[in-house]
Chain A
Amino acid sequence: MRHVGRRIFLFAASAVLLVYVLAPVAWLVSSSFQGEAEITSRPPHWIPRQPTLENFEAIFQARDKKVTYETRRAGDPATGGYIPSTARNLIPSMWNSLLVALAVVALNLLVAVPAAYAMAKIRFIGRSTSIYFMLTTRVIPDIALVVPFFLFIRTFGLLDHLGSLVITYLAITVPFSIFILVSYFESLPDELDKAARVDGCSRLQTMMRVYVPLALPALVAVVLFTFLSSWNEFLLALMFTQTPKSQTMPIVVASFASDFTISFAFINAAGVLAVVPPVLMAVIFERYIVSGLTAGAVKG
């Protein structure tokens, strides 16, 4: 009987957790298909009674409209009359976010994979020191880095340029990527390294042909981590970007809430678009997160 009670408890606890995690997302998605009137109804409609795509239409058409404080009140019937003054920046900002995130992911892999391989498999003086030193950079909060970063970025003339974001995001994500990969590479047997080199691989070939395929789960983790970190990053983007030319999605979405009147339906539709790329990434890479690839490498 205790067994059944335990199961019921676990089931209930999981259900509570699930609701806690999923309810905000569900509301985000549901409300993005509601008009401004329906979104404020009480009790809230979890399933839209008059589903509409007009929030999304407004987002994609915002580019062609000039929205000012004066004109927007006349506004858009779909959004209840209020679309934010910065609405037209949303699509370009998502494009900026995507560019930055992809660049950060690619450069992360380019730097972190060889660095981690070297730290895990080549014995050199100062090896463990460099790992610890790198890790200490992770305990510094981003806010403490803002001023030095700003001075650096200004000196190099990169203010209001996507490059400033790529550089600073790399500084923040690379140490952690290396850390993830070092521990994974270390868990792979050293003999594979020796075997590959005797088989005729240079160090680089050993890394590419033996360790990278085996480290796929860790690489996927790194890709997801770095992509999400830069996709979601707000503080540094707020500091270094000033015009729509370089603003990223979180900055533009946040600006929607700074008008006198706010269309929550429109913001939520923007929110839905914002979660699409990360969700896509997760779906694409989920099947590569496989364990047990190393089984059978060595005795066992």
Chain B
Amino acid sequence: MARIRFESVGKEYPNGFVALENLSLEIADKEFVVLLGPSGCGKSTTLNLIAGLEDVTAGSLYFDSTLMNVVPAHRRDVAMVFQSYALYPHKSVYENIAFGLRMRGHPKDEIEKRVREAARALDIVPLLERRPHQLSGGQRQRVALGRALVRQPAAFLMDEPLSNLDAALRIAMRAEIKKLHQTMRTTFVYVTHDQAEALTLADRIVVMREGVIQQIGTPEEIYDRPRNTFVASFLGNPPINYLDGTLAGDSGGLRFERGALSLALPPALAQRLAGQGDGPSGRQVRLGLRAEDVDARGAPREGETLRGRISSVLPVGSDQYLGVEVEGATLFFRVGRELRVHEGENVALSVNMNRAQLFDSSSGASLLWQ
């Protein structure tokens, strides 16, 4: 149906603002790709370029092998769901859903059939005669989805479709969108700044920052092997912890050191680092530890233990977050709630160094990828 390919695409606005720089990306047919990043990172612009709502100012955009740069929005076979729903306020729910089909000249009975089908799938049949202002936020969201899926488009674009919903509804709709993707078997491009949405929905995640792609990968890749500190920080809750320090030792036994703290790097990583530059020893690095990659129960072992003073205990129902002061830095870890600890106590946590991230101190680039 639709493979979407960006070749060195750039987008510069008339006022000189560069929203996208040299973006190359290939989205496979039937793939669910999530564009993830903070606001202003260019993810919505990317989506608008696919929809044809904004013009590409450099490079080429292809659907399959057709160059789309100058094809106007209404000639592209894509459907879009907006954060604000963007339902037509003067039309009934039925008319809202039917509008796209009408504009494309489908026969009346087919429109009727498809609108009813979509309404049934989304459980909004009783709402068909209502106007948008008579609906709740969740219902409007369903109508917006219905308006997109009734078209059976080649690509389905979603611009933060769930961010106006409350938390419980958001999780339910997330599941529904995932199901929709499985039943429709269409390319989905989904924009969000919510890492949880990205991790749940995506086949692949594209992390963006200031108009530049930081990393493209499956959710596991992005989470486990971030290419730089930006990607690492953007995913994970609570966010990844950083400790600046130096490497010491040689390929036989490389250690991360900061003050009295000394952590042994796994041999595989040590070997890889040994081949880089003038040798790893003495190199300034930033160690990244995910909140869940510690264990408070195991017996402390040399080279795998963090010792520090507990500065805060934050229970969050199933787990608790511990703020631990280690060598002048405060790190946050997630531990089971059965651990009975109090503020001001000392604690020893064993670290899963196989999952530790290591970044270059100055550039922030991951040393695991080099």
A contacts, CB < 8 Å to B: 123-125, 189, 191-192, 194-202, 205, 210, 213-214, 292-299
Residues of A close to B48: CB separation below 8 A: 194
**Option from B51, B132, B147 in Cβ contact (under 8 Å) with A296:** B132
In Å, the complex CA distance between A192 and B87 comes to 7
- Distance in angstroms from A293 CB to nearest chain B CB is 6
- Whether B72 sits at the interface, judged by CB under 8 Å, is yes
> Given known contacts A200-B103, A200-B104, is B80 in contact with A195 (CB within 8 Å)?
yes
Q: Of the 9-residue stretches B134-142, B253-261, B343-351, B356-364, which lies at the interface with chain A? A: B134-142
Q: Beyond the given A197-B52, A199-B103, A200-B104, could you list 20 further A-B residue pairs with CB under 8 A, ordered by the A residue number?
A: A191-B82, A191-B83, A192-B86, A194-B51, A194-B73, A195-B82, A196-B88, A198-B73, A199-B79, A199-B99, A205-B74, A205-B103, A210-B88, A214-B89, A295-B133, A296-B131, A297-B84, A297-B89, A299-B85, A299-B137
- Whether B66 sits at the interface, judged by CB under 8 Å, is no
- Distance in angstroms from B65 CB to nearest chain A CB is 22
> Given known contacts A197-B52, A198-B53, A296-B135, is B86 in contact with A213 (CB within 8 Å)?
no
B contacts, CB < 8 Å to A: 13-14, 48, 51-53, 72-74, 76, 78-80, 82-90, 99-100, 103-104, 131-135, 137, 140, 147, 151, 157, 164
- Closest residue of chain A to B80 (Cβ to Cβ) is A198
Residues of B close to A299: CB separation below 8 A: 83-85, 137, 140, 164
- Distance in angstroms from A265 CB to nearest chain B CB is 49
10 CB < 8 A contacts A-B: A191-B83, A191-B85, A194-B86, A195-B88, A197-B72, A198-B52, A198-B79, A199-B151, A205-B103, A210-B88
Residues of A close to B83: CB separation below 8 A: 191, 299
Please tell me if the beta carbons of B52 and A298 are within 8 angstroms of each other in the complex: no
- Closest residue of chain B to A214 (Cβ to Cβ) is B90
Please tell me if the beta carbons of A202 and B74 are within 8 angstroms of each other in the complex: yes
Please tell me if the beta carbons of B73 and A293 are within 8 angstroms of each other in the complex: no
- Most A CB contacts (10 A, CB to CB) among B13, B72, B103, B157 go to B103
Q: Is the interface of B mostly helix, strand, loop or mixed?
A: loop
In Å, the complex CA distance between A269 and B326 comes to 96
- Distance in angstroms from B169 CB to nearest chain A CB is 13
In Å, the complex CA distance between A197 and B80 comes to 10
Please tell me if the beta carbons of A194 and B103 are within 8 angstroms of each other in the complex: no
Residues of B close to A194: CB separation below 8 A: 48, 51, 53, 73, 80, 82, 86
Please tell me if the beta carbons of A298 and B103 are within 8 angstroms of each other in the complex: no
In Å, the complex CA distance between A294 and B73 comes to 24
**Option from A192, A197, A200, A295 in Cβ contact (under 8 Å) with B88:** A192
- Distance in angstroms from A292 CB to nearest chain B CB is 8
- Closest residue of chain A to B148 (Cβ to Cβ) is A198
Residues of A close to B164: CB separation below 8 A: 299
Please tell me if the beta carbons of B104 and A297 are within 8 angstroms of each other in the complex: no
> Given known contacts A199-B99, A201-B103, is B87 in contact with A297 (CB within 8 Å)?
yes
Please tell me if the beta carbons of B103 and A296 are within 8 angstroms of each other in the complex: no
Residues of A close to B88: CB separation below 8 A: 192, 195-196, 210, 297
In Å, the complex CA distance between A183 and B82 comes to 23
In Å, the complex CA distance between A292 and B89 comes to 10
**Option from A123, A196, A296 in Cβ contact (under 8 Å) with B134:** A296
- Closest residue of chain B to A210 (Cβ to Cβ) is B88
Residues of A close to B13: CB separation below 8 A: 123
Residues of A close to B85: CB separation below 8 A: 191, 298-299
> Given known contacts A205-B103, A293-B89, A297-B89, is B147 in contact with A199 (CB within 8 Å)?
yes
Residues of B close to A192: CB separation below 8 A: 86, 88
Please tell me if the beta carbons of B74 and A293 are within 8 angstroms of each other in the complex: no
Residues of B close to A296: CB separation below 8 A: 87, 89, 131-135, 140
**Option from A197, A202, A295 in Cβ contact (under 8 Å) with B89:** A295
Please tell me if the beta carbons of B14 and A201 are within 8 angstroms of each other in the complex: no
In Å, the complex CA distance between A292 and B131 comes to 12
Instruction: Give the 3 A-B residue pairs with the shortest CB-CB distance, closest first.
Output: A296-B133, A200-B103, A191-B86
Residues of B close to A196: CB separation below 8 A: 88, 99
- Distance in angstroms from B63 CB to nearest chain A CB is 14
- Closest residue of chain B to A200 (Cβ to Cβ) is B103
Please tell me if the beta carbons of B84 and A199 are within 8 angstroms of each other in the complex: no
Please tell me if the beta carbons of B53 and A297 are within 8 angstroms of each other in the complex: no
Please tell me if the beta carbons of B86 and A297 are within 8 angstroms of each other in the complex: yes
Residues of B close to A197: CB separation below 8 A: 51-53, 72-74
